[in-house]
Amino acid sequence: MLRTMNRALLVAAAVVALATSLTAQKTQDGAPIPSQITSAKKVFISNTVGDDLYSSDPSQVYSAFYSAMKNWGRYDLVSSPANADLIFEISFREPVVAVAVTSSAANVPVGGSYTNPHVRLVISDPRTHVSLWWFIAHVRQPLFTSEKNLDHSMVDLMGQLKQIVSKE
């Protein structure tokens, strides 16, 4: 029964990931990109509150993203939102997507939850405080026990960002 539940969780996670991906692709193909994103020169990176429950370093996601942005070199990274053309809000999220409330097997625990861990980036205009665009990159299990899992998520997130910015 536990294997069946694990398979169901994997299928549910795959469906969520696919639906998110298809929605993002449709939006990117048809909707205009806000001009601030493609014309901006200076960016402030904000370490937004998230669900960093599994990391011994609460700034791990922020540090990884900051490093990726610095290596890219597309934007000047500034230390104050007042000096920025855009604000990039980075965070780790792990929303609960399913809960096991019943079980037909005697040895299967009841009440377990399943989550959808991901890194989220929201691009905002510092003058109007309007969110202009958002991205998510899923983090593979086990979450922070392997730097490679976070690295894969950062590569995915940066790829999404570069795709949008390149549509000048």
**Per-residue pLDDT tens digits for 50-74:** 666 556 676 888 999 999 999 999 9
**Per-residue pLDDT tens digits for 74-122:** 999 999 999 999 999 999 877 666 776 666 665 555 666 667 778 899 9
Show Cβ contacts of residue 78 under 8 Å, excluding neighbours closer than 6 positions. 42, 43, 44, 84
Show the DSSP H helices in 31-135 as ranges.
35-39, 60-72
Comparing 4 with 160, the larger pLDDT belongs to 160
Q: HSE of 138 in the Cβ direction (CA atoms, 13 Å)?
A: 14
Residue 101 has a CB neighbour count (10 Å cut-off) of: 9
Mean pLDDT over 151-157 rounds to 89
Hey, where are the domains in the chain? Answer: 2-165
At 18, is the pLDDT very low, low, confident or very high (cuts 50, 70, 90)?
Answer: very low
**What's this model's pTM, rounded to 2 decimal places?**
0.70
The domain defined by 2-165 folds into Rossmann fold (3.40.50)
Residue 163 has a CB neighbour count (10 Å cut-off) of: 13
Mean pLDDT over 139-153 rounds to 69
Comparing 157 with 55, the larger pLDDT belongs to 157
